[in-house]
Chains A and B, each alone.
Chain A
Protein backbone atom coordinates (compact mmCIF):
# COMPACT_ATOMS: atom_id res chain seq x y z
CA UNK A 1 0.00 0.00 0.00
CA UNK A 2 1.41 3.42 -0.93
CA UNK A 3 2.10 6.06 1.68
CA UNK A 4 -0.71 8.20 0.32
CA UNK A 5 -3.19 5.34 0.53
CA UNK A 6 -2.09 4.57 4.08
CA UNK A 7 -2.51 8.17 5.10
CA UNK A 8 -5.92 8.25 3.48
CA UNK A 9 -7.02 5.13 5.34
CA UNK A 10 -5.71 6.52 8.61
CA UNK A 11 -7.65 9.72 8.06
CA UNK A 12 -10.83 7.79 7.21
CA UNK A 13 -10.53 5.83 10.48
CA UNK A 14 -9.92 9.01 12.46
CA UNK A 15 -12.88 10.64 10.73
CA UNK A 16 -15.26 7.85 11.76
CA UNK A 17 -14.04 7.94 15.36
CA UNK A 18 -14.41 11.71 15.41
CA UNK A 19 -17.91 11.44 13.95
CA UNK A 20 -19.09 9.09 16.69
CA UNK A 21 -17.59 11.32 19.39
CA UNK A 22 -19.25 14.38 17.94
CA UNK A 23 -22.60 12.64 17.57
CA UNK A 24 -22.48 11.75 21.26
CA UNK A 25 -21.53 15.31 22.14
CA UNK A 26 -24.25 17.08 20.14
CA UNK A 27 -26.87 14.54 21.22
CA UNK A 28 -26.21 15.45 24.83
CA UNK A 29 -27.00 19.13 24.29
CA UNK A 30 -30.08 20.39 26.08
CA UNK A 31 -32.34 23.40 25.56
CA UNK A 32 -30.22 25.32 28.03
CA UNK A 33 -27.14 25.02 25.81
CA UNK A 34 -28.54 27.13 23.00
CA UNK A 35 -31.54 28.81 24.61
CA UNK A 36 -35.16 28.44 23.64
CA UNK A 37 -37.32 30.81 21.62
CA UNK A 38 -40.44 31.17 23.73
CA UNK A 39 -43.99 31.00 22.39
CA UNK A 40 -44.50 34.71 22.96
CA UNK A 41 -41.32 35.44 20.99
CA UNK A 42 -42.52 33.23 18.17
CA UNK A 43 -45.86 35.03 18.03
CA UNK A 44 -44.21 38.48 17.95
CA UNK A 45 -41.65 37.28 15.41
CA UNK A 46 -44.27 35.80 13.09
CA UNK A 47 -46.49 38.89 13.37
CA UNK A 48 -43.58 41.20 12.51
CA UNK A 49 -42.00 38.93 9.93
CA UNK A 50 -44.96 37.39 8.14
CA UNK A 51 -48.24 39.11 8.99
CA UNK A 52 -47.11 42.76 8.80
CA UNK A 53 -45.29 42.36 5.45
CA UNK A 54 -48.26 40.40 4.05
CA UNK A 55 -50.66 43.17 5.09
CA UNK A 56 -48.37 45.75 3.47
CA UNK A 57 -48.33 43.79 0.22
CA UNK A 58 -52.11 43.40 0.29
CA UNK A 59 -52.58 47.10 1.16
CA UNK A 60 -50.39 48.47 -1.63
CA UNK A 61 -51.94 46.12 -4.20
Chain B
Protein backbone atom coordinates (compact mmCIF):
# COMPACT_ATOMS: atom_id res chain seq x y z
CA UNK B 1 0.00 0.00 0.00
CA UNK B 2 1.48 3.35 -1.00
CA UNK B 3 2.01 6.11 1.53
CA UNK B 4 -0.47 8.31 -0.33
CA UNK B 5 -3.26 5.83 0.16
CA UNK B 6 -2.36 5.44 3.82
CA UNK B 7 -2.49 9.18 4.25
CA UNK B 8 -5.81 9.39 2.47
CA UNK B 9 -7.22 6.66 4.70
CA UNK B 10 -6.04 8.56 7.75
CA UNK B 11 -7.75 11.71 6.45
CA UNK B 12 -10.87 9.67 5.79
CA UNK B 13 -10.85 8.49 9.39
CA UNK B 14 -10.17 11.91 10.92
CA UNK B 15 -12.45 14.02 8.75
CA UNK B 16 -14.57 11.48 6.92
CA UNK B 17 -16.69 8.49 7.83
CA UNK B 18 -14.30 5.69 8.79
CA UNK B 19 -14.73 4.80 12.49
CA UNK B 20 -12.01 6.47 14.54
CA UNK B 21 -9.91 4.07 16.62
CA UNK B 22 -9.18 4.62 20.30
CA UNK B 23 -5.49 5.32 19.72
CA UNK B 24 -6.35 7.96 17.10
CA UNK B 25 -8.45 10.09 19.44
CA UNK B 26 -6.91 13.53 19.93
CA UNK B 27 -8.94 15.09 22.72
CA UNK B 28 -8.36 14.41 26.39
CA UNK B 29 -10.08 16.59 29.01
CA UNK B 30 -7.92 19.66 28.44
CA UNK B 31 -8.04 19.30 24.66
CA UNK B 32 -11.79 18.98 24.38
CA UNK B 33 -12.42 21.83 26.82
CA UNK B 34 -10.18 24.23 24.91
CA UNK B 35 -11.63 23.09 21.57
CA UNK B 36 -15.15 23.39 22.97
CA UNK B 37 -14.49 26.96 24.11
CA UNK B 38 -13.00 27.77 20.70
CA UNK B 39 -16.28 26.67 19.12
CA UNK B 40 -18.50 28.22 21.81
CA UNK B 41 -16.92 31.67 22.01
CA UNK B 42 -17.98 32.63 18.53
CA UNK B 43 -19.28 35.81 17.01
CA UNK B 44 -22.83 34.48 16.74
CA UNK B 45 -23.08 34.56 20.56
CA UNK B 46 -23.30 38.35 20.35
CA UNK B 47 -26.10 38.05 17.82
CA UNK B 48 -28.06 35.50 19.87
CA UNK B 49 -27.84 37.75 22.92
CA UNK B 50 -29.05 40.64 20.77
CA UNK B 51 -32.15 38.73 19.72
CA UNK B 52 -32.96 38.14 23.39
CA UNK B 53 -32.50 41.86 24.09
CA UNK B 54 -35.31 42.43 21.61
CA UNK B 55 -37.82 40.64 23.83
CA UNK B 56 -36.67 40.56 27.48
CA UNK B 57 -34.71 42.55 30.04
CA UNK B 58 -31.38 41.72 31.67
CA UNK B 59 -32.35 39.27 34.44
CA UNK B 60 -34.84 37.29 32.37
CA UNK B 61 -32.41 37.27 29.44
CA UNK B 62 -29.47 35.97 31.48
CA UNK B 63 -31.52 33.17 33.01
CA UNK B 64 -33.17 32.09 29.77
CA UNK B 65 -29.97 32.22 27.71
CA UNK B 66 -27.73 30.36 30.16
CA UNK B 67 -30.40 27.81 31.09
CA UNK B 68 -31.56 27.42 27.48
CA UNK B 69 -28.07 26.87 26.08
CA UNK B 70 -27.23 24.36 28.83
CA UNK B 71 -30.44 22.36 28.52
CA UNK B 72 -30.30 22.45 24.72
CA UNK B 73 -26.78 21.06 24.61
CA UNK B 74 -27.55 18.33 27.14
CA UNK B 75 -30.59 17.16 25.20
CA UNK B 76 -28.81 17.26 21.86
CA UNK B 77 -25.49 15.86 23.06
CA UNK B 78 -26.36 13.04 25.46
CA UNK B 79 -27.11 10.25 22.99
CA UNK B 80 -24.96 11.41 20.08
CA UNK B 81 -21.89 12.17 22.21
CA UNK B 82 -21.77 8.81 23.95
CA UNK B 83 -22.49 6.78 20.82
CA UNK B 84 -20.08 8.67 18.57
CA UNK B 85 -17.40 8.46 21.26
CA UNK B 86 -17.76 4.75 21.93
CA UNK B 87 -17.80 3.73 18.29
CA UNK B 88 -15.80 6.58 16.71
CA UNK B 89 -18.72 7.28 14.41
CA UNK B 90 -19.65 10.37 12.46
CA UNK B 91 -22.96 11.97 13.53
CA UNK B 92 -25.15 11.08 10.55
CA UNK B 93 -23.78 7.53 10.50
CA UNK B 94 -24.88 7.17 14.11
CA UNK B 95 -28.40 8.43 13.35
CA UNK B 96 -28.81 5.58 10.85
CA UNK B 97 -29.22 3.21 13.79
CA UNK B 98 -32.32 5.13 14.79
CA UNK B 99 -33.85 6.63 11.66
CA UNK B 100 -32.75 4.00 9.14
CA UNK B 101 -30.24 4.05 6.27
CA UNK B 102 -32.43 6.28 4.12
CA UNK B 103 -34.29 8.00 6.96
CA UNK B 104 -30.99 9.43 8.18
CA UNK B 105 -30.75 11.32 4.89
CA UNK B 106 -33.88 13.25 5.85
CA UNK B 107 -32.15 14.19 9.09
CA UNK B 108 -29.14 15.12 6.97
CA UNK B 109 -31.32 17.71 5.25
CA UNK B 110 -31.97 19.49 8.56
CA UNK B 111 -28.26 19.18 9.34
CA UNK B 112 -27.35 20.90 6.06
CA UNK B 113 -29.98 23.63 6.55
CA UNK B 114 -28.50 24.33 9.99
CA UNK B 115 -25.00 24.68 8.56
CA UNK B 116 -26.11 26.80 5.61
CA UNK B 117 -28.29 29.02 7.80
CA UNK B 118 -25.54 29.78 10.31
CA UNK B 119 -23.01 30.32 7.52
CA UNK B 120 -25.27 32.85 5.84
CA UNK B 121 -26.13 34.61 9.10
CA UNK B 122 -22.55 35.16 10.18
CA UNK B 123 -21.45 36.21 6.72
CA UNK B 124 -24.17 38.87 6.67
CA UNK B 125 -22.96 39.90 10.12
CA UNK B 126 -19.50 40.21 8.56
CA UNK B 127 -20.94 42.31 5.73
CA UNK B 128 -22.86 44.54 8.13
CA UNK B 129 -19.69 45.02 10.15
CA UNK B 130 -17.72 46.14 7.11
CA UNK B 131 -20.57 48.41 6.01
CA UNK B 132 -20.71 50.07 9.44
CA UNK B 133 -16.96 50.54 9.51
CA UNK B 134 -17.13 52.07 6.02
CA UNK B 135 -19.99 54.32 7.16
CA UNK B 136 -17.82 55.46 10.07
CA UNK B 137 -15.17 56.46 7.53
CA UNK B 138 -17.71 58.41 5.51
CA UNK B 139 -18.64 55.85 2.84
CA UNK B 140 -22.22 54.62 2.73
CA UNK B 141 -22.07 51.25 0.95
CA UNK B 142 -25.61 50.24 1.85
CA UNK B 143 -27.09 46.85 1.05
CA UNK B 144 -24.86 46.32 -1.98
CA UNK B 145 -21.70 46.46 0.12
CA UNK B 146 -23.22 43.83 2.43
CA UNK B 147 -23.91 41.66 -0.62
CA UNK B 148 -20.35 42.07 -1.90
CA UNK B 149 -18.97 41.15 1.54
CA UNK B 150 -21.15 38.05 1.84
CA UNK B 151 -20.02 36.95 -1.60
CA UNK B 152 -16.39 37.69 -0.79
CA UNK B 153 -16.74 35.72 2.46
CA UNK B 154 -18.10 32.78 0.48
CA UNK B 155 -15.20 32.93 -1.96
CA UNK B 156 -12.66 33.02 0.87
CA UNK B 157 -14.46 30.19 2.69
CA UNK B 158 -14.49 28.12 -0.51
CA UNK B 159 -10.78 28.76 -1.00
CA UNK B 160 -10.01 27.80 2.61
CA UNK B 161 -11.82 24.48 2.57
CA UNK B 162 -10.28 23.58 -0.77
CA UNK B 163 -6.84 24.65 0.39
CA UNK B 164 -7.16 22.41 3.41
CA UNK B 165 -9.03 22.64 6.67
CA UNK B 166 -5.68 23.01 8.47
CA UNK B 167 -5.66 26.64 7.34
CA UNK B 168 -8.51 27.15 9.81
CA UNK B 169 -6.21 26.35 12.70
CA UNK B 170 -4.21 29.47 11.83
CA UNK B 171 -7.41 31.55 11.86
CA UNK B 172 -8.57 30.00 15.12
CA UNK B 173 -5.29 30.60 16.89
CA UNK B 174 -5.91 34.34 16.38
CA UNK B 175 -9.68 34.40 16.67
CA UNK B 176 -10.29 32.54 19.93
CA UNK B 177 -8.03 34.58 22.23
CA UNK B 178 -9.15 37.71 20.41
CA UNK B 179 -12.82 37.00 21.03
CA UNK B 180 -12.10 36.26 24.69
CA UNK B 181 -10.45 39.69 24.97
CA UNK B 182 -13.39 41.33 23.18
CA UNK B 183 -15.87 39.58 25.50
CA UNK B 184 -13.92 40.67 28.57
CA UNK B 185 -13.67 44.22 27.23
CA UNK B 186 -17.39 44.31 26.46
CA UNK B 187 -18.32 43.28 30.00
CA UNK B 188 -15.96 45.95 31.31
CA UNK B 189 -17.38 48.59 28.96
CA UNK B 190 -20.98 47.70 29.83
CA UNK B 191 -20.44 47.87 33.59
CA UNK B 192 -18.15 50.91 33.40
CA UNK B 193 -20.90 53.17 32.14
CA UNK B 194 -23.88 51.66 33.95
CA UNK B 195 -24.45 49.96 37.30
CA UNK B 196 -26.48 46.77 37.65
CA UNK B 197 -29.72 48.51 38.65
CA UNK B 198 -29.47 50.73 35.55
CA UNK B 199 -28.95 47.69 33.31
CA UNK B 200 -31.88 45.90 34.94
CA UNK B 201 -34.07 48.93 34.33
CA UNK B 202 -33.51 48.78 30.56
CA UNK B 203 -36.65 47.70 28.74
CA UNK B 204 -36.50 45.22 25.83
CA UNK B 205 -35.85 46.71 22.40
CA UNK B 206 -38.80 45.35 20.40
CA UNK B 207 -40.97 43.11 22.57
CA UNK B 208 -44.11 41.28 21.52
CA UNK B 209 -47.40 42.35 23.13
CA UNK B 210 -47.48 39.41 25.54
CA UNK B 211 -44.74 39.61 28.27
CA UNK B 212 -45.04 35.91 29.04
CA UNK B 213 -44.52 35.05 25.39
CA UNK B 214 -41.44 37.31 25.28
CA UNK B 215 -39.94 35.30 28.11
CA UNK B 216 -40.71 32.01 26.40
CA UNK B 217 -39.30 33.33 23.10
CA UNK B 218 -36.02 34.23 24.80
CA UNK B 219 -35.87 30.79 26.42
CA UNK B 220 -36.46 29.24 23.02
CA UNK B 221 -33.58 31.31 21.60
CA UNK B 222 -31.33 29.86 24.29
CA UNK B 223 -32.60 26.35 23.61
CA UNK B 224 -32.23 26.92 19.87
CA UNK B 225 -28.63 28.00 20.38
CA UNK B 226 -27.98 24.85 22.41
CA UNK B 227 -29.72 22.58 19.93
CA UNK B 228 -27.76 24.25 17.11
CA UNK B 229 -24.78 22.20 18.22
CA UNK B 230 -26.48 18.92 17.32
CA UNK B 231 -24.76 18.64 13.91
CA UNK B 232 -21.34 19.37 15.37
CA UNK B 233 -21.47 17.10 18.40
CA UNK B 234 -20.46 13.89 16.65
CA UNK B 235 -17.65 15.59 14.76
CA UNK B 236 -16.03 16.55 18.08
CA UNK B 237 -16.93 13.71 20.41
CA UNK B 238 -15.78 10.86 18.15
CA UNK B 239 -12.35 12.34 18.72
CA UNK B 240 -12.53 12.24 22.55
CA UNK B 241 -10.87 9.59 24.69
CA UNK B 242 -13.54 8.77 27.31
CA UNK B 243 -17.32 8.78 27.71
CA UNK B 244 -17.06 11.52 30.33
CA UNK B 245 -14.94 13.71 28.05
CA UNK B 246 -17.48 13.23 25.29
CA UNK B 247 -20.28 14.73 27.38
CA UNK B 248 -19.37 16.96 30.30
CA UNK B 249 -16.97 19.38 28.52
CA UNK B 250 -19.55 19.97 25.77
CA UNK B 251 -22.14 20.99 28.36
CA UNK B 252 -19.62 23.21 30.13
CA UNK B 253 -18.30 24.95 27.01
CA UNK B 254 -20.96 24.90 24.29
CA UNK B 255 -23.80 25.02 26.82
CA UNK B 256 -23.01 27.03 29.93
CA UNK B 257 -20.01 28.88 28.45
CA UNK B 258 -21.85 29.87 25.32
CA UNK B 259 -24.80 31.08 27.41
CA UNK B 260 -22.50 33.36 29.41
CA UNK B 261 -20.95 34.82 26.24
CA UNK B 262 -24.43 35.30 24.74
CA UNK B 263 -25.21 37.47 27.78
CA UNK B 264 -22.61 39.98 26.51
CA UNK B 265 -24.75 40.54 23.45
CA UNK B 266 -27.87 40.76 25.61
CA UNK B 267 -26.49 43.35 28.03
CA UNK B 268 -24.74 45.38 25.33
CA UNK B 269 -27.91 45.30 23.24
CA UNK B 270 -29.99 46.58 26.16
CA UNK B 271 -27.52 49.29 27.21
CA UNK B 272 -26.62 50.52 23.72
CA UNK B 273 -30.16 50.03 22.34
CA UNK B 274 -29.47 47.85 19.31
CA UNK B 275 -29.70 44.10 18.84
CA UNK B 276 -27.11 44.22 16.08
CA UNK B 277 -23.51 43.66 17.32
CA UNK B 278 -22.13 45.43 14.27
CA UNK B 279 -23.93 48.58 15.44
CA UNK B 280 -23.33 48.45 19.18
CA UNK B 281 -19.66 47.43 18.92
CA UNK B 282 -18.83 50.83 17.43
CA UNK B 283 -20.83 52.50 20.22
CA UNK B 284 -19.10 50.46 22.91
CA UNK B 285 -15.54 50.59 21.64
CA UNK B 286 -15.48 53.91 19.88
CA UNK B 287 -13.93 54.32 16.41
CA UNK B 288 -10.68 52.49 17.17
CA UNK B 289 -11.58 49.56 19.39
CA UNK B 290 -15.00 49.20 17.78
CA UNK B 291 -13.46 48.83 14.33
CA UNK B 292 -10.78 46.44 15.65
CA UNK B 293 -13.48 44.34 17.32
CA UNK B 294 -15.50 44.27 14.14
CA UNK B 295 -12.46 43.25 12.12
CA UNK B 296 -11.84 40.41 14.56
CA UNK B 297 -15.47 39.38 14.35
CA UNK B 298 -15.18 39.49 10.57
CA UNK B 299 -12.22 37.08 10.58
CA UNK B 300 -14.02 34.90 13.12
CA UNK B 301 -17.12 34.78 10.97
CA UNK B 302 -15.33 33.86 7.76
CA UNK B 303 -13.38 31.21 9.63
CA UNK B 304 -16.50 29.75 11.28
CA UNK B 305 -18.43 29.78 8.01
CA UNK B 306 -15.62 27.87 6.29
CA UNK B 307 -15.66 25.27 9.07
CA UNK B 308 -19.41 24.82 8.81
CA UNK B 309 -19.37 24.50 5.06
CA UNK B 310 -16.56 21.98 5.41
CA UNK B 311 -18.67 19.77 7.70
CA UNK B 312 -21.69 20.31 5.43
CA UNK B 313 -19.70 19.11 2.41
CA UNK B 314 -18.52 16.08 4.38
CA UNK B 315 -22.11 15.31 5.30
CA UNK B 316 -23.14 15.47 1.64
CA UNK B 317 -20.96 12.41 1.06
CA UNK B 318 -23.72 10.36 2.67
CA UNK B 319 -25.69 10.86 -0.53
CA UNK B 320 -24.54 8.26 -3.04
CA UNK B 321 -25.07 10.56 -6.02
CA UNK B 322 -22.65 13.12 -4.57
CA UNK B 323 -19.99 10.63 -3.48
CA UNK B 324 -18.35 10.50 -6.90
CA UNK B 325 -18.02 14.28 -7.13
CA UNK B 326 -14.62 15.85 -6.65
CA UNK B 327 -14.08 17.75 -3.39
CA UNK B 328 -14.11 21.12 -5.19
CA UNK B 329 -17.47 20.37 -6.85
CA UNK B 330 -18.95 18.94 -3.65
CA UNK B 331 -18.02 22.03 -1.65
CA UNK B 332 -19.33 24.27 -4.40
CA UNK B 333 -22.64 22.43 -4.16
CA UNK B 334 -22.80 23.25 -0.47
CA UNK B 335 -22.12 26.93 -1.10
CA UNK B 336 -24.83 27.41 -3.72
CA UNK B 337 -27.83 27.69 -1.30
CA UNK B 338 -25.93 30.28 0.74
CA UNK B 339 -26.24 32.58 -2.27
CA UNK B 340 -29.72 33.42 -0.93
CA UNK B 341 -27.87 35.49 1.68
CA UNK B 342 -26.19 37.41 -1.15
CA UNK B 343 -29.57 38.14 -2.71
CA UNK B 344 -31.52 39.26 0.38
CA UNK B 345 -29.01 39.64 3.21
CA UNK B 346 -30.82 42.08 5.49
CA UNK B 347 -34.20 40.35 5.26
CA UNK B 348 -32.69 37.02 6.32
CA UNK B 349 -30.48 38.65 8.97
CA UNK B 350 -33.33 40.60 10.55
CA UNK B 351 -35.36 37.38 10.79
CA UNK B 352 -32.45 35.45 12.28
CA UNK B 353 -34.34 34.89 15.52
CA UNK B 354 -36.73 32.69 13.53
CA UNK B 355 -33.78 30.65 12.32
CA UNK B 356 -32.57 30.36 15.91
CA UNK B 357 -35.93 29.00 17.02
CA UNK B 358 -35.97 26.75 13.93
CA UNK B 359 -33.01 24.85 15.38
CA UNK B 360 -35.02 23.97 18.45
CA UNK B 361 -38.02 23.14 16.23
CA UNK B 362 -36.03 20.58 14.27
CA UNK B 363 -33.45 19.22 16.66
CA UNK B 364 -35.49 18.96 19.88
CA UNK B 365 -37.73 16.15 18.51
CA UNK B 366 -34.85 14.55 16.56
CA UNK B 367 -32.72 14.42 19.72
CA UNK B 368 -35.65 13.18 21.81
CA UNK B 369 -36.17 10.14 19.59
CA UNK B 370 -32.42 9.44 19.51
CA UNK B 371 -32.32 9.49 23.32
CA UNK B 372 -35.08 6.88 23.61
CA UNK B 373 -33.60 4.73 20.88
CA UNK B 374 -30.02 4.72 22.17
CA UNK B 375 -30.52 4.60 25.94
CA UNK B 376 -33.84 2.82 26.39
CA UNK B 377 -34.16 0.48 23.43
CA UNK B 378 -30.53 -0.28 22.57
CA UNK B 379 -29.12 0.06 26.11
CA UNK B 380 -26.24 2.11 24.71
CA UNK B 381 -25.04 -0.55 22.26
CA UNK B 382 -24.87 -0.57 18.45
CA UNK B 383 -23.83 -3.06 15.81
CA UNK B 384 -21.25 -0.93 13.99
CA UNK B 385 -21.04 -3.21 10.97
CA UNK B 386 -24.74 -2.64 10.30
CA UNK B 387 -24.27 1.14 10.26
CA UNK B 388 -22.33 0.61 7.04
CA UNK B 389 -24.67 -2.08 5.65
CA UNK B 390 -26.81 -0.76 2.82
CA UNK B 391 -28.65 -3.94 1.86
CA UNK B 392 -32.29 -4.56 2.89
CA UNK B 393 -31.07 -7.42 5.13
CA UNK B 394 -29.19 -4.91 7.31
CA UNK B 395 -30.32 -4.31 10.90
CA UNK B 396 -30.87 -0.62 10.34
CA UNK B 397 -32.82 -0.95 7.12
CA UNK B 398 -36.26 -1.01 8.87
CA UNK B 399 -38.94 -0.39 6.20
CA UNK B 400 -37.33 0.37 2.86
CA UNK B 401 -34.53 2.20 4.66
CA UNK B 402 -36.83 4.28 6.89
CA UNK B 403 -37.62 3.79 10.57
CA UNK B 404 -41.20 4.99 10.24
CA UNK B 405 -42.10 5.14 13.96
CA UNK B 406 -38.98 7.22 14.67
CA UNK B 407 -39.56 9.58 11.76
CA UNK B 408 -43.28 9.87 12.52
CA UNK B 409 -42.55 10.70 16.17
CA UNK B 410 -39.91 13.30 15.27
CA UNK B 411 -42.05 14.98 12.60
CA UNK B 412 -45.04 15.03 14.93
CA UNK B 413 -42.83 16.75 17.51
CA UNK B 414 -41.79 19.35 14.91
CA UNK B 415 -45.43 19.93 13.98
CA UNK B 416 -46.35 20.29 17.63
CA UNK B 417 -43.59 22.84 18.14
CA UNK B 418 -44.75 24.93 15.18
CA UNK B 419 -48.37 24.78 16.41
CA UNK B 420 -47.36 25.79 19.94
CA UNK B 421 -45.04 28.59 18.81
CA UNK B 422 -44.60 29.41 15.16
CA UNK B 423 -40.93 30.43 14.92
CA UNK B 424 -41.62 32.80 12.01
CA UNK B 425 -44.85 34.56 13.01
CA UNK B 426 -44.66 33.92 16.79
CA UNK B 427 -48.32 32.89 16.73
CA UNK B 428 -48.80 30.97 20.00
CA UNK B 429 -51.31 28.27 20.85
CA UNK B 430 -52.07 25.90 23.70
CA UNK B 431 -49.98 25.77 26.85
CA UNK B 432 -46.82 27.27 25.29
CA UNK B 433 -46.75 30.09 27.87
CA UNK B 434 -46.38 27.54 30.67
CA UNK B 435 -44.70 24.53 29.08
CA UNK B 436 -42.58 26.22 26.36
CA UNK B 437 -42.62 24.84 22.82
CA UNK B 438 -39.46 22.73 23.07
CA UNK B 439 -40.68 20.93 26.21
CA UNK B 440 -43.75 19.25 24.69
CA UNK B 441 -41.91 18.87 21.36
CA UNK B 442 -39.34 16.78 23.23
CA UNK B 443 -41.52 14.82 25.65
CA UNK B 444 -44.27 13.82 23.21
CA UNK B 445 -41.94 12.25 20.60
CA UNK B 446 -40.11 10.45 23.41
CA UNK B 447 -43.28 8.86 24.79
CA UNK B 448 -44.77 8.16 21.38
CA UNK B 449 -41.62 6.57 20.01
CA UNK B 450 -41.18 4.40 23.11
CA UNK B 451 -44.72 3.03 22.67
CA UNK B 452 -44.47 2.60 18.87
CA UNK B 453 -41.06 0.97 19.13
CA UNK B 454 -42.28 -1.66 21.58
CA UNK B 455 -45.34 -2.28 19.41
CA UNK B 456 -43.72 -2.42 15.98
CA UNK B 457 -39.93 -2.64 16.27
CA UNK B 458 -38.44 -4.52 19.20
CA UNK B 459 -38.00 -8.16 18.28
CA UNK B 460 -39.30 -7.55 14.75
CA UNK B 461 -37.12 -5.01 12.97
CA UNK B 462 -34.16 -2.72 13.65
CA UNK B 463 -31.87 -5.31 15.23
CA UNK B 464 -32.89 -4.39 18.78
CA UNK B 465 -32.45 -7.91 20.11
CA UNK B 466 -29.88 -9.14 17.59
CA UNK B 467 -26.24 -9.93 18.21
CA UNK B 468 -23.81 -7.02 18.30
CA UNK B 469 -21.01 -9.04 16.73
CA UNK B 470 -19.82 -7.60 13.41
CA UNK B 471 -21.36 -9.21 10.34
CA UNK B 472 -19.84 -9.42 6.83
CA UNK B 473 -20.94 -6.45 4.72
CA UNK B 474 -23.17 -7.36 1.78
CA UNK B 475 -23.34 -3.86 0.33
CA UNK B 476 -21.19 -1.18 1.93
CA UNK B 477 -22.57 2.36 2.06
CA UNK B 478 -19.11 3.93 2.38
Shortest Cβ gap from A1 to chain B (Å): 16
Partner of B71, one of A11, A29, A54: A54
Stretch touching chain A among B17-25, B110-118, B173-181, B286-294: B17-25
Beta-carbon nearest neighbor of A59 in chain B? B63
CB pair A14 B9 closer than 8 Å? yes
- Which residues from B are CB-within-8-Å of A22? 13, 18-19, 21, 88
Beta-carbon nearest neighbor of A55 in chain B? B67
B60 touches A (CB below 8 Å): yes
A6 touches B (CB below 8 Å): no
- Size bracket, chain B contacts: 35 or more
CB pair B385 A27 closer than 8 Å? yes
Shortest Cβ gap from B400 to chain A (Å): 24
CB pair B22 A53 closer than 8 Å? no
B86 touches A (CB below 8 Å): yes
B276 touches A (CB below 8 Å): no
- Size bracket, chain A contacts: 20 to 34
Shortest Cβ gap from B393 to chain A (Å): 16
Partner of A23, one of B85, B215, B388: B388
Contact A61-B473, Cβ < 8 Å, known A18-B18, A49-B251, A54-B71: no
Partner of A29, one of B1, B18, B74, B86: B86
- Which residues from B are CB-within-8-Å of A15? 9, 12, 18, 478
In the complex, A20 Cα to B67 Cα: how many Å? Answer: 43
Contact A23-B478, Cβ < 8 Å, known A50-B71, A56-B67, A57-B63: no
- Which residues from A are CB-within-8-Å of B85? 34
In the complex, A54 Cα to B64 Cα: how many Å? Answer: 9
B244 touches A (CB below 8 Å): yes
CB pair B478 A16 closer than 8 Å? yes
Contact A61-B215, Cβ < 8 Å, known A16-B476, A56-B63: yes
B217 touches A (CB below 8 Å): no
A37 touches B (CB below 8 Å): yes
CB pair B243 A37 closer than 8 Å? yes
In the complex, A34 Cα to B18 Cα: how many Å? Answer: 19
Beta-carbon nearest neighbor of B63 in chain A? A60
In the complex, A54 Cα to B74 Cα: how many Å? Answer: 13
CB pair B71 A34 closer than 8 Å? no
Contact A23-B19, Cβ < 8 Å, known A34-B86, A37-B244: yes
CB pair B22 A35 closer than 8 Å? no
Chain B residues numbered 1-55 whose CB sits less than 8 Å from any CB in chain A? 1, 5, 8-9, 12-13, 18-19, 21-22
CB pair A20 B473 closer than 8 Å? yes
Shortest Cβ gap from A43 to chain B (Å): 14
CB pair B67 A53 closer than 8 Å? yes
B247 touches A (CB below 8 Å): yes
Could you jot down 22 A-B contacts, CB within 8 Å? A11-B5, A15-B18, A15-B478, A16-B476, A19-B18, A19-B473, A19-B476, A22-B19, A26-B21, A26-B88, A26-B384, A34-B22, A35-B242, A35-B243, A45-B247, A45-B248, A50-B71, A54-B67, A57-B64, A57-B219, A60-B63, A61-B212
| For the complex of A and B, 8 pairs with smallest distance between CB atoms | A53-B67, A60-B63, A22-B19, A35-B242, A49-B74, A26-B19, A27-B470, A23-B385
